[in-house]
Amino acid sequence: QVQLVESGGGLVQAGGSLRLSCAASGRTFSTYNMGWFRRPPGKEREFVAAITWTGDGTYYADSVKGRFTGSRDNAKNTVYLQMNSLKPEDTAVYYCAARSRTRIAGTLTGVYDYDYWGQGTQVTVSS
């Protein structure tokens, strides 16, 4: 069982930066691939970024590539999403999610392919 708690959201002007954190409980955090997803207002949840359980693989949605950076610190049971050059269209509730490294079906970018989810943190980017 893994419990996830996001933090770091808030209101920022376009062009600004935020760093989201996701703290995980449990001693097996290092065996989970981690993902970041978001739900823009009125839209479906969508993939943002993923970090492999080893930390040496990262994947990004085209819409955030070059602006967002995912990372993890397994010693602190925490995963991060550094968001730079924020745009109004980045406004959304951001969620972190954990996917067991032993899970075969699905992909790191799949909304339905993760085992645990956090409650989400609101990010609002004003123009």
pLDDT confidence of residue 1? 83
pLDDT confidence of residue 28? 87
Indicate the pLDDT class of residue 5, thresholds 50, 70 and 90: very high
Question: Which tokens is 13 given?
Answer: 């002007």
Percent of the chain with pLDDT over 70: 100
Query: In the predicted model, what is the mean pLDDT of the chain?
Result: 95
| Sign of the alpha-carbon torsion through 106, 79, 55, 84 | positive
* Predicted confidence (pLDDT) per residue in 36-68, tens digit: 999 999 999 999 999 999 989 999 999 999 999
pLDDT confidence of residue 65? 98
